[in-house]
């Protein structure tokens, strides 16, 4: 049996490819292979020979199977190397880069503000882009003859509804839905019938903020706005309030921040003033609280309307508003890639 063993091992070693090895394997270990038969034969041997013969033959069978497996792995390895050697494929090269998309600059700014305000206890609300005249105007104390109602500005729909011209209608919706104390932000898309140019778009993004509680004052408004602008602009900020008129706030303000580009010295962005108009805000008008179902004798509140589009323009020094909706990849690809 030793001679046979040598011969079988030599046959295995001599197999030059996988197909040849498979043949040797089936000759030896297949259903009617030499070794299979040899093992089967044990049962027909005289009883006293069986244990030893069985052990030996099984050992041989296992040894050959192992030799075949080892040779198979060798041959496969060789085949792979041959294949790789034959082409100029270099497995050590990094794979092709799959470029990820990037977030739209407005999404970047919006996400940052949502994180910031939710960390300060605000809840994030949503509202419909198609609004009723009541929520967009009436409830916000915007009288019939107010210029904002002019068909120049508003996209009216055939059914008497309109595309919201600001996110302020969600102030009313939130007040009606929740009881004070109330702290909400409402990022969203707004529409105005504008002639589109470098600084006007018919679609733009705002983020409304509303806080209603007992004893809320202008000091709370200023503090909240400073905290927000400091985080957004990543620097210490100075703010100032100028009077501003919006029918739904009283008093109403335009809030300016010291210019991030020239640190207040005066430059083209701030038109040499050292200040940049950043957002309108004010104390919620008592009539608006009433329309929201809140007693103005008991509660006060502040509201602000941040132009997300404007903030993104300032942050990224984008000088043409039309780029936001252009879908131009050369523009979009400049923003940080989102890792997959
Ligand atoms: N809704 C106003 C606008 O779009 C902005 C604003 C919001 C002003 C909240 C004051 C308070 O112009």
Helix (H) or strand (E) holding 162: strand 162-163
Q: Return the pLDDT at 143.
A: 86
Element (H, E) at 172: helix 169-177
Q: What integer pLDDT is reported at residue 270 of this predicted model?
A: 85
Minimal-distance CA residue to ligand 1 atom 10? 281
Contact 4, 63 (CB under 8 A): no
pLDDT in tens, the chain (340 residues): 788 889 999 999 999 999 999 999 999 999 999 999 999 999 999 999 899 989 999 999 999 999 999 999 999 998 888 887 877 778 788 888 887 889 999 999 999 999 999 999 999 999 999 999 999 999 999 988 887 677 668 999 999 999 999 999 999 999 999 999 999 999 999 999 989 988 889 999 999 999 999 999 999 999 999 999 999 888 899 999 999 999 999 999 999 999 878 877 888 878 899 999 999 999 999 999 999 999 999 999 999 999 999 899 988 989 899 999 999 999 999 998 887 5
Q: What pLDDT is stored for residue 152 in this prediction? A: 65
State residue 81's pLDDT score: 84
pLDDT digits (tens, 9 = 90+) for 100-126: 889 999 999 999 999 999 999 999 999
Q: Are 29 and 23 in contact (CB under 8 A)?
A: no
Residue 84's pLDDT is what?
78
How would you class 136 by CB atoms within 10 Å of its CB: exposed for 0-12, middle for 13-18, buried for 19 or more? buried
The per-residue pLDDT for 325 is: 93
Note the pLDDT of residue 151. Answer: 66
Distance separating alpha carbons of residues 207 and 184, to the nearest angstrom: 10
Q: What is the pLDDT of residue 99?
A: 78
Q: Which residue's CA is the nearest one to ligand 1's atom 2?
A: 305
Q: What is the pLDDT of residue 23?
A: 92
pLDDT at 340: 57
Which residue has the least CA distance to atom 5 on ligand 1?
Answer: 305
Q: How close is the Cα of 80 to the center of ligand 1, in Å?
A: 68
Distance of CA 285 from the midpoint of ligand 1 (Å): 12
Q: Whose CA is nearest to atom 3 of ligand 1?
A: 166
pLDDT at 183: 98
C-alpha of residue 302 to centroid of ligand 1, in Å: 11
Which residues of 176-274 form beta strands (DSSP E)?
Answer: 182-191, 203-213, 239-243, 249-258
Contacts of 41 (CB under 8 A, 6+ apart): 57
State how far the Cα of 168 lies from the Cα of 162, in Å rounded to an integer: 14
Q: Give the list of residues 6+ apart from residue 231 with CB closer than 8 angstroms, or none.
A: 112, 116
- Identify the pLDDT of residue 122: 98
Please report the atom of ligand 1 found closest to the CA of residue 209: 9
Given ligand 1 and candidates 148, 166, 175, which is best to mutate, with the most ligand atoms within 8 Å of its CB? 166
Pocket of ligand 1 (CB under 6 A): 166, 168, 246, 249, 252, 280-282, 303-305
**pTM above threshold 0.75:** no
- What is the per-residue pLDDT for 95? 85
Closest CA to ligand 1's atom 6: 305
């Amino acid at each position: 049996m030793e001679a046979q063993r040598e011969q079988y091992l030599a046959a295995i070693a001599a197999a030059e490819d996988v197909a040849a090895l498979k043949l040797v394997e089936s000759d030896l270990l297949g259903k009617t292979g030499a070794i299979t038969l040899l093992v089967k034969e044990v049962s027909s041997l005289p009883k006293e020979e069986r244990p030893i013969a069985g052990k030996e033959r099984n050992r041989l069978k296992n040894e050959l199977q192992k030799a075949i497996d080892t040779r198979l792995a060798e041959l496969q390895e060789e085949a792979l190397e041959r294949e790789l050697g034959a082409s100029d494929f270099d497995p050590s090269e990094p794979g092709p880069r799959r470029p990820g998309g990037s977030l739209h600059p407005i999404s970047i700014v919006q996400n940052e503000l949502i994180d910031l305000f939710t960390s300060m206890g605000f809840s994030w609300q949503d509202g419909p882009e198609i609004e009723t005249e009541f929520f967009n105007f009436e409830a916000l104390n915007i009288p019939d003859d107010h210029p904002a109602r002019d068909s120049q500005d508003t996209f009216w729909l055939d059914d008497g509804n309109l595309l919201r011209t600001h996110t302020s209608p969600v102030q009313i919706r939130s007040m009606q839905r929740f009881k004070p104390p109330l702290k909400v932000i409402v990022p969203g898309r707004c529409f105005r019938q504008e002639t589109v140019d470098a600084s006007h778009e018919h679609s733009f993004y705002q983020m409304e903020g509303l806080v209603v509680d007992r004893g809320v004052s202008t000091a709370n408004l200023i503090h909240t706005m400073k905290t927000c602008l400091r985080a957004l602009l990543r620097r210490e900020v100075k703010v100032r309030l100028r009077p501003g008129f919006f029918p739904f706030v009283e008093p109403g303000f335009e809030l300016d921040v010291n210019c991030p580009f020239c640190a207040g010295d005066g430059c083209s962005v701030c038109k040499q003033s050292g200040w940049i108009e950043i957002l309108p805000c004010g104390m919620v008008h008592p009539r608006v609280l009433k329309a929201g179902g809140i007693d103005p004798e008991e509660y006060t509140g502040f509201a602000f309307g941040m132009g997300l589009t404007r903030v993104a323009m300032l942050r990224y020094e984008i000088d043409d508003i039309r780029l936001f909706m252009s879908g131009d990849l050369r523009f979009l690809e400049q923003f940080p890639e989102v890792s997959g």
